[in-house]
Structures are given as C-alpha cells and as structure tokens.
Amino acid sequence: MTQFSEIPSDLKVYFNGGFIDWKDATVHVMTHALHYGSAVFEGIRCYKTPKGPAVFRLKEHVDRLFNSAKMYRMLPNLSREEFIKAILETIKINSFDECYVRPIIFRGTGAFGVNPLDNTIEYAICCWKWGKYLGEEALEKGVSVQVSSWNRIAPNTMPALAKCAANYANSQLMKMEAVKNGYTEGIALDVSGYVSEGSGENIFIVRGQTLITPPLGSSVLPGITRDTVIALARASGYEVIEGLIPREMLYIADEVFFTGTAAEITPIAFIDQIQIGEGRRGPVAKHLQENFFAVINLERKDTHGWLTFV
C-alpha cells in the first residue's frame, strides 16, 4: 500500500480551478466533509500504453462522479467536460506515463451543522503512482477473503449507487475486520443476506460458462470495471446474469473474482478458509484478464472507446 510519505512533494494538485503544490493541498479542520462525510469521489487509472498514457473509461468515471454529486445536491461550478479536461491536465502537468487519479467533490467551510446547503462546494484532483491494490501476485494467485459480519447499507438509508465518502465508513469496518482476522479482504452481504460486494470491489462468481454478479438492488456500486467485465464476457460468448447470490453459492462456485479500478480483475482463492476451484486464478478470470489488458496494451482494437489518451 502506497504511503503518502512516499509520494513526491513536488506533484501538482488541481484545486478549485487551478494548480497548487501537493503540500499546499489542505483544507480547514472545520471542513464539513471532515465532520459529516459530505464528499463524493472517484478512483481512475491512467495506464502506460505503446502510444502514451491513456485514461481508462474516463467519461464513465466523471459521469458517475457527477451523478453521485447530484444525489447529494452538491454539483460543482464546472461542467463534466471541463472536469475531464482538468483530469487530463493534472496527469500531464505531473508528467505521469501511468498513475492513479483521485478526483473529489466535497462540502467545505460555511455554516456548521448537519444541514450542508450553505457550505461551499469544492473540488480537487490528485494523482500518484499506485500499484496493485490487493498485491502484485494477487492477479494470478488470488486472495483469501472472509464473509464479513458487517452488512452493506440497506435500501433507502443511504444511496449505494453514489460513491460517497460516508459509505466507506462501512467499508473500513469490513476491511479492518478482515485484516485483523488474517484475510486480505471481506465480502459483505446485503440487508436480505444475499452477496453484495467487497469493501471496494464488485464481485462475480463463475459456474460453468455462466458469470453471475449481484444486481444494483443488492446495494452495490455500479462499478466501471464491473461493466467492462460484463461487456468482455458477453463478447467472448459467456452468459452473464445479474442476479441474487446466496452466501453458500460462493463456496461451491468454480471461480470467484473481484473487479474494480484499483483491484482490476483479482481472483479469490479462499473464502472463509474454503478453497474456491483450484485455489488460484481459474480459466475464466485468466481469459478476462488477458482481454482486459489486451485493450489497455493496444493488442486488440478498442471498439468501445474506453481509452482517452493524455
């Protein structure tokens, strides 16, 4: 895991319409988002390709960011197109050939209290080098996870479709529990006891030639990589079902894997100490990984327009 102390201090951050030094990208201790979780954000990867750095599914990420902001009545004073341009400029000014990008929109200072409507709406874009989220070897060997004792948020309590900072208090509880118990990650169930997602990843199971992933109604984030995998799998002839997954189906699946911008496509080798398949990456996950990285490495045509070159 990258520590901020390891990030070069001469990086530039796009903050409220202009560039400032990394060390100066700070907010006041009374910032509303710090006290009440009033922030929405994205995680985006810029990949090194034979034709230069390219951002993966940039438009879709910015669309989700603005949709999250809309749900919380905190749209910024710039358009989606301007935000896309600012992300590309941030990567360019920092001379990255590959990086992780973190745009955030948040409530700043102003009135103090639960009501956020009189607070400023601020935004920032940071980028830095960040390796494989679940470990360099995880893409092949897989990870060991547990079903968490913490459920995902129930419908009509908080919007699960929004990538809001407040939702990640739930994710932190899952992640800490898993790590303290000796696992890499946790899998949450929804309020009805069906499989939902990981602390920061969507999940798929494989049975034969069929992939099953929980529906959005199971309190899952509409993942960009999730959508990518669905498209790649269907193009390869696999059946893909968005359907309810009972917990016990995890244990008897041929394969299980996580998807996400940070995790990419990461196989799950063990769940609750029960071996999944061969206990490492299975053939379906391997095929999807190869197709995913073939697009990024320009080994196959980007027919979907997923890459935006810096």
Q: Which DSSP string corresponds to 172-196?
A: HHHHHHHHHTT-SEEEEE-TTSBEE
Q: What b/e readout covers 71-108, taking b as 16+ CB neighbours within 10 angstroms?
A: ebebebeeeeeebbebbbebbeebebebbbbbbbbbbb
Residue 303 in domain: no
Same domain for 271 and 154, yes or no, is yes
Same domain for 145 and 286, yes or no, is yes
Quote the tokens at residue 267.
């196989």
Same domain for 106 and 176, yes or no, is no
CB atoms under 10 Å from CB of 18, counted, come to 9
State the Cα angle at 57 between 97 and 201, rounded to 5°: 100
Quote the tokens at residue 220.
């899952």
Same domain for 174 and 92, yes or no, is no
Domain count, the chain: 2
Same domain for 113 and 78, yes or no, is yes
Same domain for 280 and 244, yes or no, is yes
Give the model's pLDDT for residue 137: 82
Residue 307 in domain: no
Full pLDDT tens readout for the chain, 310 residues: 555 656 777 899 999 999 999 999 999 999 999 999 999 999 999 999 999 999 999 999 999 999 999 999 999 999 999 999 999 999 999 999 999 999 999 999 998 999 999 999 999 999 999 876 666 688 899 999 999 999 999 999 999 999 999 999 999 999 999 999 999 999 999 999 999 999 999 999 999 999 999 999 999 999 999 999 999 999 999 999 999 999 999 999 999 999 999 999 999 999 999 999 999 999 999 999 999 999 999 999 999 999 999 9
Residue 304 in domain: no
Q: Nearest to residue 87, comparing CAs of 127, 27, 131?
A: 127
CB atoms under 10 Å from CB of 65, counted, come to 24
CATH number at residue 143: 3.20.10.10
Strand, helix or coil for residue 62 = helix
Same domain for 238 and 272, yes or no, is yes
Same domain for 199 and 147, yes or no, is yes
d(CA 226, CA 167): 19
On the CB side of 296, CA atoms within 13 Å amount to 18
Same domain for 160 and 85, yes or no, is no
CATH number at residue 8: 3.30.470.10
Instruction: Tell me which residues are annotated as active site.
Output: 163
Same domain for 248 and 117, yes or no, is no
Give the model's pLDDT for residue 7: 73
Residue 308 in domain: no
Residue 302 in domain: no
Last residue of a domain, one of 73, 96, 128: 128
Residue 249 in domain: yes
Last residue of a domain, one of 98, 128, 158: 128
Helix 58-71 vs helix 80-93: crossing angle, to nearest 10:
130
Strand, helix or coil for residue 64 = helix
Give the model's pLDDT for residue 130: 84
Domain that includes residue 165, residue range: 138-296
Give the model's pLDDT for residue 4: 60
Last residue of a domain, one of 96, 128, 160: 128
Contacts of 129 (CB under 8 A, 6+ apart): 2, 7, 96, 98, 99, 100
Same domain for 170 and 102, yes or no, is no
Same domain for 252 and 182, yes or no, is yes
